[in-house]
Structure 1
Amino acid sequence: MPASPKRTKRKASDPQLPSHFSMVRSFKLADFVTLGNGVCGCLSLMFAMKALLTQNTDFLFSSFWCIPCGVLFDFLDGRVARWQQSSSLLGQELDSLADFCSFGLAPAVLGFACGFQKMLDMVVLTYFVCCGLARLARFNATVASLPTDQNGKVRYFEGTPIPTTLVIVGVLAYGVYHGKFWRFANPMFQHEGPFASFSQAFTPEYVWGGEVTVFPGYEFHPLVLMYGLSGTLMISRRLRIPKL
């Protein structure tokens, strides 16, 4: 009879492989709520890109609505975590990444979709995104040293919380609703659907507030400065916002 193949014995020191989907199964209910925030941010980004491709404002409004939905999930995840007494470092990091997607990247892409597409506009939008990223990183690095109340809850935020960028999204939504950002060559086909004709040209020179020329070849839209102000307020350490 042929010799049976030798079996390699697992050494006692070998680490045991984790079971399948162990990370997902370790999630608490609050973590799934936080993921809902991240889903809203991703959908907002994709709807904004779809709006640019189709010139269809229906997709743009879908992108707008994703942001307040993300704020709702962001509000609920902390309540659920305290209700279940299940806070964790993983949940904290997950919350920051979801916030960055929904309230950092998505509002900046929405600004671009609404017409802030000049080079100087993009510089301001990039500054805004970097401020949001830095603000979330600072919070994670310093949250353990911030003063807390008797329940262990942080008393205040240093700088404005990143979900306050909902105000910017509200301004953009108001402008689009009242025709202050998008103009179409043939408005009667504005809601034609996902295969709208590209003759419905998006013309960024009609952006609300107009353009300002800094010097020949370099223009920007003054309304984009609300992103710069929001980013600056987020990274301020002198501004302290009581946490509700």
Structure 2
Amino acid sequence: MFSPIIRQIDLANSLTLTGLVLSLISVFLAVNGHYNEAVICMMYAGIIDLFDGLVAKKISRTELQSEVGKQLDSIVDVCSFGFAPAIFAYCFGLKDLLSIAVLIFYLATNALRLAYFNTTGLMNEGSEQYYTGLPVTYAALFIPLAFTARFALPDETMKFILDGVYLLLALAMIGNFKMLKLRGVWYGIFALGAIALTAVYGWVSTVGIYF
């Protein structure tokens, strides 16, 4: 007989765990200086986070699997979009006191935002649903996008840019504004965007040329 813990691994929860594994691989790559590959893994952890919820709504699951999935998703989110991006930035060179303060603030707001969302959920207005502040998953979009500036700028300049990006993300996560929950065609747009960015990063990594 399988453990009751193991029996909670349905398709949706398996996807969530896959995102966690990708985030760990992202950290391993960053520690070893493979930054382009690290942001690709970070990005796909974000794509998986978009789709695991969609899968959860489409499949048949027990009440316990659903409740475990909610807890698992939150734990994985703070690892994938809090710890992993912070470690990535530190490995890239954000090691001065100001940068460390920014990363601490980023991680703290990430965890706080997730705890708040777990308590309050989404706001409903008519047929639309809204988040309060920026969902943490968007870090997996904005950090890879911002990091493409490295193709044209020296690493020392990139460190200042990343300081700004992480600070803005942290402020947006705890911001007092409504953000529409995207669905439908946006899932396909994000997936295509991830494929396009993967092609760009893959080409640069292969050619080894920065503009």
**Count of aligned pairs between the two proteins:** 178
Aligned partner of 2:76 in structure 1 is 98
Structure 1 residue aligned with 2:157, among 208, 211, 218?
A: 208
1:44, 1:106 within 8 Å by CA — same for their partners in 2?
A: yes
Q: Distance in 2 between matches of 1:125 and 1:99?
A: 16
The whole-number CA distance in structure 2 between the counterparts of 1:161 and 1:43 is 22
Secondary structure (helix, strand or coil) at the match of 2:179 reads strand
What does 1:26-45 correspond to in 2, within 5 Å? 26-45=8-27
Q: Give % identity.
A: 28
Q: Which residue of 2 aligns with 1:75?
A: 50
Deviation for aligned residue 1:105: 1.4
- Tell me: CA distance 1:23–1:132, structure 2 relative to 1, closer, same or farther (3 Å): same
Match in the other structure for 2:174: 235
Question: What residue number does 1:224 align with?
Answer: 163
Q: CA separation in 1, counterparts of 2:8 and 2:126?
A: 29
1:112 is the counterpart of 2:94? no
Matched, 1:147 2:132: no
Could you give the per-residue CA deviations for residues 153-183 of structure 1, whole angstroms, max 9, x where no partner exists? x8111100111112123212x13334521xx
TM-score by length of 2: 0.76
Q: Which amino acid aligns with 2:42?
A: I
Q: Is the 8 A contact 1:105 1:129 kept in 2?
A: yes
C-alpha offsets along residues 45-80 of structure 1, whole Å, 9 cap, x if unaligned? 1111122xxxxxxx2222111011111211110111
Aligned to 1:55: none
* Structure 1 residues 76-122: Cα deviation after superposition (integer angstroms, max 9, x where no partner): 10111111153722111111111111111122222222221111110
Taking structure 1 as the reference length, the TM-score comes to 0.66
| Residues 110 and 136, structure 2, Cα contact 8 Å, conserved in 1 | yes
Q: What SS does the aligned partner of 1:117 have? A: coil
Give, in whole Å, the separation in 2 of the partners of 1:21 and 1:176: 47
Q: 1:169 to 1:146 in 2, by over 3 A?
A: same
Structure number with greater Rg is: 1
Segments of structure 2 that go 5 or more residues without pairing to the other structure are 183-211
Amino acid in the other structure paired with 1:101? C
CA distance in 2, matches of 1:148, 1:83: 24
**Partners of 2:44 and 2:117 in 1: how far apart?**
23
